[in-house]
Amino acid sequence: STYPYIIDTLIALAAEKHLLNNREEALILTGLEDKCAVAINLDIPIIKHVTRDNNRRSTIEQIYEARRDATTNPLDHVFELCSYSWSLLPGQTYKCKIYYRPFVPFAVNVDYFTIVDSAGERAEIQVRGTCIGPVISLSTTRLIMMCTSENREAKKRIRLVNDSNATATFVFDIDLLMRPFQANPQHGQIEPRSRKCVTIIFAPRKDGIYACHFPCLILNHKPIIIELYGYCCKALRKTCIQSRFTYPARLKNGFEGYTSDTVVTAQDLPAISSSKNCIDFGQADVEAENGARRIPETLCLTNHSQSDVLIKWKEDDEGIFDITPAVARIPASQTALFEIAFSPNRGSSLFGNDLIGDVFVEQQEDRSEKETLIFPTIMSVRLIGHSFPVFSDGWIPQDYQIIVVGMLPKNDDERVYVERWAIRFNGNTKSECFIDFQGFTEYAKVNFSDRNIVSFAPTFPGCQNLQQFYMRNITRHTIKYEFINVSPELQMRNRNGKIYSNDIVIHEWLFCPVVLGDYELDINCILIVLKDGISVGASVCVSLHVTGRCESGFLVSAPDELNFGVQAYKSVKELSFHVFNLSAVNIHYKMICSHCNWPCIKNIERDVKIHPIADTILAGQDKAITVLITPTTPGYYEFFVKYFVRMSSDTDTLIPNQTSRNICKVHCLCILPTLKPKEEAWITLELHHTLLGKTETKWDLDLGDDRHIFFIITIECLSDTDNKLHLINGTHFKFQQVYFGEKDPIYQMCWLYNGTNHSIPFSINPRTMHEINQEYCYKVFSCATLYAIANPQTFVPILLKFQPRQFGIFKGKLHLTLGDDEKELTLEGESSLPYKPAIGEYVLCEHKFQDDESIPIYFSTDCINVWHMSTHSHTVKMIMIHNNLMQDVLAYEWKRPEISEVINVDIYPRKGFIKPMSVKSFRIIIYTKEYPCMIDIDIPCMFINASQRRIYQRSIYIHEDLSQELKRQFTITEKGINVPQLQTKMLEKPQPFYKAVMIRCSIYNVEDKFLKVSLMKELTSAPPKGICIEENERMTFEKEDISRSSFIIECLLW
């Protein structure tokens, strides 16, 4: 390939992180930083650090040696270590620098280093770098410029856009004196991700048609050639002239268009070609006689077209360079010879000129100028000469010049080219400057692992066997590869792609045989070199030999029958059996269950669990299979454990059209649990719920013989932002029956619950209460808590009173504001005759908890009844708690409930410990406040196993200490860091449980709870306002009205 000779360049580096450790020898390799991309000058290399620690616990000094991979081409040694050997004492650290200095832009460099210590342990480092360069694009590569004789100047602007992260240096390769086209600026730099505008000036000295190839040379980039066409005349009409222009074929951009002295006959031929595109006359004196004796240079032009062409050479205005003949006609497929003479007119000067020839096809020259304006094809020859004296030390006045060097190997073989060029200024041997060029010609070539042989292990028919092998590019080119002639038994994930120089690609092939027998396949890999993403050169074919074998096999078990016996309903039991693979192939199985006879189990997959249900048993190995049964259907379970063969170990896809094999038979008899008369059984319902909103769940307790008990649970799940309170009794509250002669009835409770984590206020609209009482003409309903605040996770009562003054049912609706929610509470009360309330005491359970080890704690009573307790008083009760655990200590803590203005409960001691198999006594003090009522409250107590909690905390400390110790014992392998794992698992954290004591309390305002009022007093006190009868002479009472009034009065009296 051809690249410009690099004076300086811009590069970027991307280094992968590697951590290496040699286990016992503790050779730690760290410090390779994260991936980065920076742009620097070639003279300032990128440096990465690799840190090596000698952590050997003994007092042995370690000697380390770094070696480069011998396969890497010496021309690609772009990575260098600052040191290739060092020694470290135990505990010492050495930081080694890695330098990266690439030679070619737009290339990916890969190299490998191996570090060996004195014990022979190895660690490999893969270093990868990417060299970036400028990516330049122009807004246009063809300009047409026109001017008139009166104003001989036209200007147009073009944009040079840098789409890369590197700074671009550009220069226009033009004749500053002779060309009618000029650029401003002529050279400069373009910053990364930016653009620069360049003005193209067309200033001809006389009228005519002009054409020019305007090369833009960019450092570390292909040349871009701009085609410039100019037209100068007396009168200019752009609308009619532009439609008459005819342009020659476009030139190739890049080095092919810039260095055009070589023509490839196998490709598209130009109309005319030149034997030289640059002539150096060297040194010449100014004297005429020496100039006359100087031998001119010759130039040969070849006409490749099928028509005669006419070439017109433009004259040198200064007469320094002269070509003979100036106009020539070249017949089709013929050549013409020209002589060029160099005659300097002043001394100690540098002379240069671009000899431009306009080439016209003969049939084009015969056309009328009014029909079309033809731009000729350009032939350009650069002429250089100087008149400095021989051995002069004078310096040619020049800023700088980008030189393009092309490599054109002549032999079709792989070899290294080394040339040294000498630059001699003014012919002075003392001012020589040498430039060394190195090149390497090679075909596309890669190395495969195992000498181009891919061997697969024996494979089950229809299965997939994965095999990995590597492919390494040992050339300096980027190679495109493709595998062809692939057999149907092989599946490739990357059949084609590209691989960078010295890089390694890991291929994964799948061997999928169907027919039993041996397989031998030959796969061809086509290689071709990529240059700028385009395939160049001839392709190379590399053959790979693939071997494999397809063999069948099956699994056997011991024992081949499992009998679970009689098992209770929903009880868990597990048994296991061993599976043996006596064949020569690996078998990837998947277990299923299948009924032996007519299926009597509705969902056998739910009741039977197999572990592992899918796995791989290697050839000649065995594995234990566990069968776990949780029967949910009464009856006899009889089924087979069968297996299918999966296609591979990493998929659950089964081999199509296969028949399952029985491997083990399972028996089990499921019976329902029985409950004898006067026996108790505890059922625990556990519900995990995360769905927002209101949800209703239903539990079905099946008692057999089509007997069911349904538990219906309504759950309302709130979000963190919800401010809602829940009415425990719903939106309909019914009072207990109240005697209408009761002077001061007690309050009754309507409970609210705050299930959120923040306090929520609530209030009752007194206007709705007033409207209800106004309807009944006296105060029937009243409320003692019109507004309050409900604390998080607490119950709050609404104190409501019902005071009837006649028989009947009373109803009304209250408007409640519960946080952000508005609700209506329907009140309903009924009056009754005097009655004496029956007091029902709580009956203790006769079950002896001492005989039940599953219950860790029990109370001496679950309910405390306190009757006829007056307001603003207190009472003391006792309760005992027994720890039923044999060895563990229980920690307890009572929650202190307090209902404002109603009741307060204190328990002593509030928290502490209960020893194993011991009893703890507690004193409960109940304080009543100002409101008489009937109230039931729960006093929860939290318990936790203190012995298990202490063991769990100790295990956490031990686990943390062992984990920190194992982190310091890690090893670094080729796959990464390997940290040893703890064999012991962390203990499960003990969870607290709760048990509550209910306190049922009736609070009265006076001691005599049967105090009543007389009927006469009640009649005189109600209604509260008199009945107004308006006097009206027209009002008359009939006989029926008198009877109706008498009946009403009688009813009121009764």
Asked: is 726-832 a CATH 2.60.40.10 domain? The reply is yes
Q: What is the mean pLDDT of residues 415-444?
A: 80
Q: What is 709-736 written as a DSSP string?
A: EEEEEEEEE--TT--B-EETTTTEEEPP
Is the previous residue joined to 1023 through a cis bond, with omega within 30 degrees of 0? Answer: yes
Single out the residue of 842, 912, 921, 923 nearest to residue 882, CA to CA: 921
Q: Per-residue DSSP letters for 485-518?
A: S--TTEEES-SEEEE-TT-EEEEEEEE---SSEE
Strand partners, 727: 752
Q: How far apart are CA 748 and CA 797, in angstroms?
A: 9
Average pLDDT over residues 82-89: 87
State in Å, rounded, how far the first CA of the chain is from the last one: 124
- How confident is the model over 284-328, as pLDDT tens digits? 888 655 445 577 888 898 888 888 888 888 888 788 888 888 888
Please, which residues have CB within 8 angstroms of residue 121's CB and are 6 or more apart in sequence? 22, 23, 25, 27
How far apart CA 714 and CA 378 sit, in angstroms, is: 93
Please, which pLDDT band fits residue 627 given cuts at 50, 70 and 90? very high
d(CA 177, CA 158): 22
pLDDT over 60 (residue 53): no
Q: What is the pLDDT of residue 7?
A: 26
1035 CB-contact burial (10 Å; exposed 0-12 / middle 13-18 / buried 19+): exposed
Q: Which of 693-702, 847-856, 939-948 is predicted most confidently?
A: 939-948
Domain ranges of the chain: 7-49+58-132, 136-260, 266-287+294-362+374-388, 446-550, 555-670, 726-832, 857-948+992-1014
Query: What are the DSSP E strand ranges found in 318-460?
Result: 321-324, 327-330, 335-342, 350-361, 373-374, 377-386, 415-424, 432-441, 446-448, 453-455
User: Average pLDDT for residues 379-394, to the nearest whole number?
Assistant: 77
Q: By the 8 A CB rule, do 874 and 928 touch?
A: yes
Name which residue leads in pLDDT, 414 or 330.
330
Query: DSSP letter string over 75-129?
Result: GG--EEES-SEEEE-TT-EEEEEEEE--SSSSEEEEEEEEEE-TT--EEEEEEEE
Q: What are residue 886's DSSP bridge partners?
A: none
Check residue 757 and report its DSSP letter. S
Tokens 């890991």, located at residue: 506
Radius of gyration of the chain (CA): 52
CATH topology classification for 7-49+58-132: Immunoglobulin-like (2.60.40)
Average pLDDT over residues 407-414: 71
Question: What is residue 448's predicted lDDT score, i.e. its pLDDT?
Answer: 92
The torsion angle over the Cα atoms of residues 1018, 1023, 1026 and 1027, rounded to 10 degrees, is: -120
pLDDT computed for residue 229 by the predictor? 85
Mean pLDDT of 815-835: 86
pLDDT at 74 exceeding the cut of 70: yes
Whether the Cβ atoms of residue 123 and residue 972 lie closer than 8 Å to each other: yes
Read off the amino acid at residue 410. Answer: K
Grouping H, G, I as helix, E, B as strand and the rest as coil, residue 451 is: helix
* Residue among 837, 770, 803 nearest 1018 (CA): 803
The tens digit of pLDDT for each residue in 864-898 reads 998 878 888 899 999 999 998 888 999 999 988 77
pLDDT > 70 fraction of the chain, expressed in percent and rounded: 81
| Whether 509 contacts 489, CB under 8 Å | no
**Least-confidence region, from 372-376, 616-620, 939-943, 1042-1046:** 372-376
Q: Report how far residue 896's alpha carbon sits from residue 236's, in angstroms, rounded to the nearest whole number.
A: 105
Question: Which among 132-146, 168-182, 705-719 has the top mean pLDDT?
Answer: 132-146
Q: Answer yes or no: is pLDDT of 24 > 60.
A: no
Torsions phi, psi for 332 (to 5 deg): -60, 135
Kindly give the pairing relationship between strand 534-550 and strand 517-531.
antiparallel
The answer to whether residue 944 scores a pLDDT higher than 70 is yes
Q: Give me the CATH code for the 136-260 domain, please.
A: 2.60.40.10
- Fold identical between 136-260 and 266-287+294-362+374-388? yes
Give the C-alpha separation, 1028 to 1041, whole Å. Answer: 18
Least confident of 618-622, 680-684, 933-937: 680-684
CA distances from 354 to 172, 223, 283 (A): 14, 18, 18
Torsion region of 922: left, alpha or beta (phi above 0 gives left; psi -120 to 50 gives alpha): beta
pLDDT band for position 946 (cuts 50, 70, 90):
very high
Give domain 857-948+992-1014's CATH architecture: Sandwich (2.60)
pLDDT exceeds cutoff 50 at 275: yes
Please provide the average confidence, as pLDDT, over all residues in the chain.
80
On the question of pLDDT at 28 being above 60, the answer is no
With a cut of 70, say whether residue 244 has pLDDT above it: no
Kindly state the average pLDDT of the residues 892-905.
84
Q: Tell whether the model's pLDDT for residue 901 goes beyond 60.
A: yes
- pLDDT for position 628: 94
Distances (CA, A) of 564 to 81, 667, 672: 69, 6, 16
Rounded to whole angstroms, how far apart are CA atoms 357 and 325?
Answer: 12
Predicted confidence at residue 363, as pLDDT, reads 59
Of 783, 795, 800, residue with least CA distance to 747: 800
Residue 555 has pLDDT above 80, yes or no: yes
**Does CATH number 2.40.110.10 belong to domain 266-287+294-362+374-388?**
no
DSSP per-residue codes, 896-922: --EETTTEEEEEES-EEEE-TT-EEEE
Please say whether the beta carbons of 301 and 358 come within 8 A. Answer: no
Task: Indicate if the pLDDT at residue 607 is higher than 70.
Answer: yes
Please tell me the least confidently modeled range out of 130-144, 389-403, 480-494.
389-403
Question: Exposed, middle or buried: residue 386 (CB in 10 Å: 0-12, 13-18, 19+)?
Answer: buried
Region of poorest pLDDT, from 96-105, 703-712, 968-977: 968-977
Residue carrying the six token digits 């927002």: 692
CATH number of 446-550: 2.60.40.10
CB 19 within 8 A of CB 52: no
Over range 936-963, report the average pLDDT. Answer: 89
What is the predicted pLDDT for the residue at 433?
85
pLDDT at 851: 47
Which tops the pLDDT comparison, 885 or 5? Answer: 885
Check pLDDT > 80 for residue 588: yes
At residue 947, the pLDDT reads: 92
Measured between alpha carbons, how far is 672 from 381 in angstroms, rounded to an integer?
Answer: 107
Cα distance between residue 421 and residue 405, in whole Å: 11
Task: Please compute the mean of the pLDDT values over residues 181-203 and round it to a whole number.
Answer: 91
CA distance 631 to 568: 8
794 alpha carbon, distance to own chain's centre? 44
Give pLDDT, residue 15.
25
CATH among 3.40.47.10, 2.60.40.10, 2.40.50.140, 3.20.20.10 for 555-670: 2.60.40.10
Q: Would you place residue 242 in the very low, low, confident or very high pLDDT band (cuts 50, 70, 90)?
A: low
441-485 pLDDT, tens digit per residue, is 888 899 998 889 999 999 999 999 999 999 999 888 899 999 998
